[in-house]
Amino acid sequence: MNTPILPPILPPIPSDVLPASRRSFLKAGAAAATGFALGFHLPAMAQKAGPAPSDAVDINAWIRITPDNQVVCEVARAEMGQGTSTSLPMMLAEELECQWADVRMEFASVSEHLARNKVYVTFATGGSRGTRDSQAVMRKAGAVAREMLKAAAAQQWGVPVAEVVAKAGRVSHPASQRSLSYGALAAQAARQPVPESVKLKAPSEWGLIGKPIPRLDIPAKVNGSAVFGIDVRLPGMLYAAIVQCPVFGGAPASVDDGAVKNRRGVKKVVTGPDFVAVVADNWWRAQQAAKALKVSWDYKGQDKLDDAAVRKLLEAGTQAARPLRQVGDFAKAQAEAGAGKVVEAEYFVPYLSHFTLEPQNCTSLLQGDTLEVWAPTQNAEATLAVAAKTAGLPVQQVKVHRPYLGGGFGRRGGFQDFVRQSVQIAQALPGVPVKLLWSREEDMQHDFYRPAALYRQRAVLDAGGQLVAWQALLASQSIVAAIRPEALKNGQDFQAGESFHDMPYQVPALDVRHGLCDINVPVGFWRSVFHSQNPFARECFLDEVLAAAGKDPLQGRLDLLPPDSRDRKVLQAVASAAHWGQPLAKGRAQGLAVQDAYGSYAAAVVELSVSAQKVVTVHKVWVAVDPGHVANIDSARAQIEGNVIYALTTLFMSEINLRDGRVQQANLADYPLLQLRQTPQIIPILVPTGGEVWGGMGEPPYAPMSAAVANAIAKATGERLRQTPFSHAGYGLA
């Protein structure tokens, strides 16, 4: 990945007062005619090539206020259904004191970003960072603009600025009962000096943040006017369908296109380093021709890998695992446990596909020494870099257009394979726009999968039933090793061990190790990354340990958590909402789990029943999340619901299998999705603690779900499920 999908965490806001940017503000040359354009950026001399000055502020926000009082907020983050394109304008509008009905958003230009010395810091959208990493600058931008508008009004009226008030898109002077709209003041505001500091509202003063605000992108998505990557249409556009080597890392050895090159509508057959594409006047003709190609592939000796081989490599990884965290002496604690119990278990999770609703696609147009790309991307800066490198052009001669994304989940972030292929195809047809669209089968079988992982755990209980020692040996591939090797510490991938090496439970002796495995399967960030799988092994095993100690799953966890733990808060909130411990309807059982991820803390209770034929009916799911602050309650609840559906799908139905180096799944027939009739009642519970912490919402609700479901099944049946999907043990959803 050229730009990490998980960018560095920004420092928290220390108080309600932030210094204004030390840079000058962007002032539109035609401000008098078009209104007020505002953004933090480098002065002209600092925009030259070379390092930025030490006082440069790298986080930026642009605001445009038009004469008719419209406030345009430019958003650098991608919108893929998570609601960031609404929550970020909410932050700006909160401090600007404009009317929400006057706010609209536009996607920021990555070319402008680079021209202004990376004014937006990053375009990467992932790791549940869209709102939490941008909220500070958006709020600050709104506050600065508000003060400049007030200064303009005070200057025009000849009164002290302390006597004017900004509210609802107008600046008023109560003493003289005069007022002006922001649009009327915009041009004069653009000429005001930038205030030295701005005071941000306290959470108790918020009028927008934390409210259920309808999303700005929904109307266009409902009426069909929203443009996704797959919707891009250009004059004279051609369409490309692609076939890729069925074995990872393979390449075309020879291509016989004799049977297709004279077909109706076929314009060209393009052979790339790892694909063959057919370009035609519509996608159906291109796809049918691509299927008819006779391609001989060079598998490069990688066509023997199968599920059994993967399992053996993971087993070897656990045996060679190296320490991630060690507290106390596990061996000594085990020896001193005396008449206590030792609990051992092995857990396994398979590879998973992202299965985005919109298959991978990209449209490219190469004209002379300029390139335009239309890409549904989670990281427009990475898209720009890959497109420019592929075309052999400076980034200044490449323009990236940003349509909506039909799902991302990490697939469209750092791994820009679809962009590279699109540009390579466009190079073969200069002057002609070409849209590359993968088939669902290509999308399924050429993904960057969630890594398979194996967990071998051992816990020691003393004679009194107290947990005194816990050992976890983990094994998986590393995601960051391929894209950000600098993130490894002494050759160890701490991300792969998250939820284990940073577990909140207080255990006298803790031994967490991880083994890096070299397996010829491309892996990548997947919704909540290792927090989607590691909590399954951790929280299920803890339930086993607590059962062996004769303890209630809730109370047993609370006993292991520090008194001021946020994990404790969400556990208690979800347990209270689900009436944990109270009698249930006949045949029903509950399971729970807790896990922190991406700055937020989440806990789930699942209530279900299981028939004699192992048919599972999930009746209710409660998920409590503490994200510090909630930007948009409506979007937060939707994220919880989406995570629950995503989790149930993967738990019961999803896995990627390998045979002869090939992925066996191809489409919905063998990689099904949860159906509406199988979806339980979902009860979202938001318990923000406030303070200076802003956590994520796009992924944390997934983290406790797998274990909560498995723990409920164990309670209902007495059978402990240690491998997903649960269909391996004969369980299915009603």
Residue 10, pLDDT > 90, answer no
Q: At 640, which helix (H) or strand (E)?
A: helix 633-652
Query: Measured between alpha carbons, how far is 477 from 525 in angstroms, rounded to an integer?
Result: 12
Query: Measured between alpha carbons, how far is 516 from 474 in angstroms, rounded to an integer?
Result: 9
Percent of all residues in the chain with a pLDDT value above 70, rounded to a whole number = 92
Split at pLDDT 50, 70, 90, the class of 282 is very high
Contact 3, 385 (CB under 8 A): yes
Average pLDDT over residues 467-473: 98
Contact 467, 549 (CB under 8 A): yes
Packing angle of the helix pair 705-717, 633-652 (nearest 10 deg):
50
Split at pLDDT 50, 70, 90, the class of 720 is very high
Residue 668, pLDDT > 90, answer yes
Closest CA to 186 of 23, 63, 42: 63
Q: What are phi and psi of 691, to 5 degrees?
A: 75, -150
Q: What pLDDT score was predicted for residue 339? A: 77
Residue 23, pLDDT > 50, answer no
Split at pLDDT 50, 70, 90, the class of 122 is confident
Q: What pLDDT score was predicted for residue 375? A: 98
pLDDT greater at residue 379 or residue 49: 379
Domains of the chain: 17-223 (3.30.365.10), 229-300+360-437 (3.30.365.10), 307-351+449-733 (3.30.365.10)
Residue 28, pLDDT > 80, answer no
Average pLDDT, the chain: 90
Strand partners for 341:
461
Average pLDDT over residues 462-490: 93
pLDDT greater at residue 23 or residue 76: 76
Split at pLDDT 50, 70, 90, the class of 484 is confident
Query: Measured between alpha carbons, how far is 122 from 140 in angstroms, rounded to an integer?
Result: 18
Q: What pLDDT score was predicted for residue 482? A: 83
Q: What pLDDT score was predicted for residue 162? A: 97
Contact 422, 241 (CB under 8 A): no
Residue 3, pLDDT > 80, answer no
Contact 120, 86 (CB under 8 A): no
Split at pLDDT 50, 70, 90, the class of 57 is very low
Residues near 455 by beta carbon (within 8 Å), at least 6 away in sequence:
318, 346, 347, 348, 472, 473, 474, 475, 534, 537, 541
Average pLDDT over residues 691-699: 93
Closest CA to 105 of 209, 1, 217: 217
pLDDT digits (tens, 9 = 90+) for 548-572: 999 999 999 999 999 999 999 999 9
Dihedral angle, C-alpha 281, 287, 291, 296, nearest 10 °: 80
Split at pLDDT 50, 70, 90, the class of 286 is very high
pLDDT digits (tens, 9 = 90+) for 411-457: 999 889 999 999 999 999 999 999 999 999 999 999 999 999 999 99
Q: What pLDDT score was predicted for residue 50? A: 33
Residue 19, pLDDT > 70, answer no
Average pLDDT over residues 704-708: 98
Average pLDDT over residues 725-729: 98
Percent of all residues in the chain with a pLDDT value above 90, rounded to a whole number = 82
Q: What pLDDT score was predicted for residue 37? A: 56
Residue 183, pLDDT > 70, answer yes
Closest CA to 473 of 345, 593, 335: 345
Through-space distance between the first and last CA atoms of the chain, rounded to whole angstroms = 40
The token duo for 44 is: 């002209």
pLDDT digits (tens, 9 = 90+) for 243-267: 999 999 999 999 999 999 999 999 9
Q: What pLDDT score was predicted for residue 730? A: 98
Residue 611, pLDDT > 80, answer yes
Residue 40, pLDDT > 50, answer no
pLDDT digits (tens, 9 = 90+) for 487-500: 899 889 999 999 99
Q: What pLDDT score was predicted for residue 36? A: 55
**pTM listed for this prediction:** 0.91
Average pLDDT over residues 704-716: 98
Q: What pLDDT score was predicted for residue 38? A: 54
Cis ω for the linkage preceding 508 (within 30 of 0): no
- The sheet with strand 103-107 has its strands ordered as 36-39, 62-65, 71-75, 103-107
Average pLDDT over residues 367-374: 98
Average pLDDT over residues 346-352: 98
Q: Is 292 helix (H, G, I), strand (E, B) or coil?
A: helix
